[in-house]
Amino acid sequence: MVGDIQHMVIETTQKIEEGWQGKPKGLLQILWERGWIDANNLGNYTMSGRQNASGVLMKNTSLKLLMAKYIDFEEEESLLQHHGRDLGVTVDRTPKCHCELAGEGIEYAWGFSKNYYRTLSLADKKGKQNFLDAVNKCISREKITTEMIRKFSRRARQYIAAYYKVWQKNQEQAATATVDLPIVDETTTPVEIEKNIKLFKTHRCAMDFDSSFCKASFKGE
């Protein structure tokens, strides 16, 4: 009616009980449906898994590791890969949070550009057009030369070779071991991988994990 207050939500006097319909099942439920979960010992399962008395990870208690055994989950396409396939291109990914492995050392190029940008005076960066000009200058081929790109690519390939050697040695030991083994120490690799091969959970750039190399590249421009 004209003059009455119009409410923007549907009012009800009935109590709404939220259910599970339409909600994600979660790893525990999916694995239980596939027969991997002991319903009498649900407390044993965690996302990363539990350790035994010797400190060795019990893989059968890790929901992530159990789910990783399924090809349909392991080979699931990401949304980016799906759209890329529709466009007729292949999207190849590096491991998450390990940008030091990114193809042709692109993170080192970003690190170099950041170093150069920081050397510019505030006057050169003040204002929208000056800012855009400064950014374009930092990422131009005049600054990031072919020789420098090759240098960055070699650095990335050193990391790739180092991680591959760790993986290769793990595979060799796992083939003959009767118990789960910890990851191989980084001293066996050709370059210094981050201490104890830490598990990184946040975004990183080359300025974080290899700042000295980026700064040296910039100074040697």
The answer to whether residues 99 and 107 touch, using CB atoms and an 8 Å cutoff, is: yes
The Cα–Cα gap between 70 and 132 comes to 47
Across the range 20-32, mean pLDDT stands at: 83
The pLDDT score that the predictor gives to residue 174 is: 72
Region for residue 74 given its phi and psi (left: phi exceeds 0; alpha: psi -120 to 50; beta: otherwise): alpha
Q: What proportion of the chain, given as a percentage, has pLDDT over 70?
A: 72
The answer to whether residues 189 and 162 touch, using CB atoms and an 8 Å cutoff, is: yes
Across the range 64-91, mean pLDDT stands at: 85
Which one has a higher pLDDT value, 195 or 8? 8
Strands 50-51 and 57-58, by their bridges, are: antiparallel
User: pTM for the whole thing?
Assistant: 0.47
State the average pLDDT for the chain. Answer: 77
For residue 7, the one-letter residue type is H
For residue 106, the one-letter residue type is I
- 86-120: pLDDT as tens digits: 999 988 777 766 777 777 888 888 889 999 999 99
Q: What is the DSSP letter of 59?
A: G
